Amino acid sequence: MVRAKWFRPSPILGIAQCRRTYCHHFILEFLAVHPAIVGQVQPRVSGIGKGLVYGIAEIANNLGVELIWGEATANSAPFYSHILFEPAIKDHFFIEQPTLVKCGKEFREKFCGELD
């Protein structure tokens, strides 16, 4: 969950839920950002969904999880295609090595200030 006290519509900016499979993979069950962010109200907020997905990728890297998979809708497929560098996403996606590493690295650089 991403929170910000300064965001007037709600202190909750976004939420993601994932779970570990019996094969030690992650399933991204759902990802949502506040509707006001999607509607681009002021102040302009961006990067919430990407930060959530990349944060999950960093957790996966730290736990030795080699695959994250999920389903996309017609509306979310372009988002996942963009952030995962995979233009062919239509209704499902798989985040594997080296994309997991790339996403985790960007998470650390942008959100934690840590450079490799």
**How do the domains of the chain map onto residue ranges?**
2-110
pLDDT attached to residue 64: 96
Query: 3-class DSSP state for residue 68?
Result: strand
Residues 2-110: name the CATH superfamily.
Answer: Gcn5-related N-acetyltransferase (GNAT) (3.40.630.30)
Q: What angle do CA 41, 45, 47 make, to 5 degrees?
A: 140
Global pTM exceeds 0.85: yes
pLDDT by residue for the chain (116 residues), tens digit each? 888 888 887 888 899 999 999 999 999 999 999 888 777 766 778 889 999 999 999 999 999 999 999 999 999 999 999 999 998 999 999 999 899 999 988 888 887 765 44
Beta bridge partners of 70: 28, 93
